[in-house]
Amino acid sequence: MNKPVQQQDSIVKSNIKPKIGPFEKNLTWWVLGCIVVGILLGKILPNFFQTIGGLKLAEVNLPVALLIWLMIIPMLLKVDFTAMKEVLAHGKGIGVTLFINWLVKPLSMALLAWLFIRHLYSDLLPVEQLDSYVAGLVLLAAAPCTAMVFVWSNLCGGDAKFTLSQVALNDAIMLFAFAPIVALLLGLSSIMVPWNTLFLSVLLFIVVPVVFSQLLRQYLLSKRAQVLDDVLKRLHPISLTALLATLVLLFGFQGQQILNQPIIIGLLAVPIIIQTYFNSMLAYWLNKKLKVAHCVAGPSALIGASNFFELAVATAIALFGFNSGAALATVVGVLIEVPVMLSVVAIVNRSRNWYEAD
């Protein structure tokens, strides 16, 4: 059995100090609060929400685009793409994670969406939204998480260089793979894809934030390393506020649908939870079979299971609108992200002796 390699301080080098703060720890409760506030405001100020929903350019909602940039750019600012040079040092772990992220995860979610939405739930959900729910689940699984995985990796004693290089590589792949994967899986589900809107979403919510964040990162680092830390600390509350504002807007539009059928959120959560545990445990098991060190297998399992829900929410709104089932399905992913991922961290930590046993 290979011994775990000595962890490197690449997180500090890259100005990333992973810890789970009070907001992240209570994200589920914040989302539940946004559900309540959004529904109430949607009832009280329906004209305001309709006005916000109508502020579009080429089918992309402008207020949401601004909020998504405020969410995504601080996250991408933490990522050092030069870390991809470390990929070969953890070839097996990288290979497992890529296999899970870009093949197993989107395909398994498409299968679960087909099984649950089109068959098991077909009599329980609004018929006119079935396609939209499927699309939302596919969007949720089509891109791996960028930011929170640093927290999960730290909590399970993950190798910092592996985590950083894997995230950088995934972000690079996402530039080219997200749109084709979404289009393919939605096409297989017989859902019409507005290609122009999809490519515009990729440009606005992936390409532009990645390019801008990396240019800004290099500029800040040219001053001194501490400047980047200071900027990230200042942007953190802005990013969180943008997330909460987006959720309130979504539930302002979704309120009536949720009040009519509150069971929808619970139903949509089931395939997401199943998919998360399936992908994380499959990645964990494959790493064990390949004799990968536990400090790499842990973050590999967590990266393999996590979702870039900010991108999913933005793309769902752009493609299908605020009051679509797709937008609601992606937000359910936000709702269950923290408790489910923390449980995966616990499984990884408690099974270390089993993992390292010959």
Model pLDDT for residues 222-256, shown as the tens digit of each residue = 887 678 888 888 887 887 788 788 888 878 877 77
pLDDT tens by residue, 307-334: 887 788 888 888 888 778 888 898 888 7
Question: What is the arithmetic mean of pLDDT over 176-181?
Answer: 89
Predicted TM-score (pTM) of this structure: 0.79
Supply the pLDDT for residue 275. Answer: 93
Query: What is the residue range of 337's domain?
Result: 21-350
The verdict on residue 1 lying in a domain is: no
Query: What single letter denotes the amino acid at residue 111?
Result: L
- CA dist 88 and 49 (Å) reads 49
- Contact (Cβ atoms closer than 8 angstroms) between residue 265 and residue 251: no
**What is the per-residue pLDDT across 4-42, written as a single tens digit (0 to 9) for each?**
443 333 333 444 444 556 766 676 788 788 888 888 888
**Does residue 223 fall inside a structural domain?**
yes
Q: The domain that contains 94 carries what CATH number?
A: 1.20.1530.20
In a domain, 288, yes or no: yes
**pLDDT the model gives residue 4:** 45
Residue 144 lies in a domain: yes
* CA–CA dist 291, 142 (Å, integer): 28
Within 10 angstroms of residue 81's Cβ, the number of other Cβ atoms is: 18
47, part of any domain: yes
Number of structural domains (the chain) is 1
333 inside domain: yes
Question: Which residues are 60's β-sheet partners?
Answer: 57
Residue 118 located in a structural domain: yes
Q: Is residue 2 part of a domain?
A: no
Of 170, 159, 243, 237, the closest CA to residue 210 belongs to: 170
User: In this predicted model, what pLDDT tens digit does every residue of 269-304 receive, in sequence order?
Assistant: 999 999 999 999 999 999 999 999 999 999 999 998
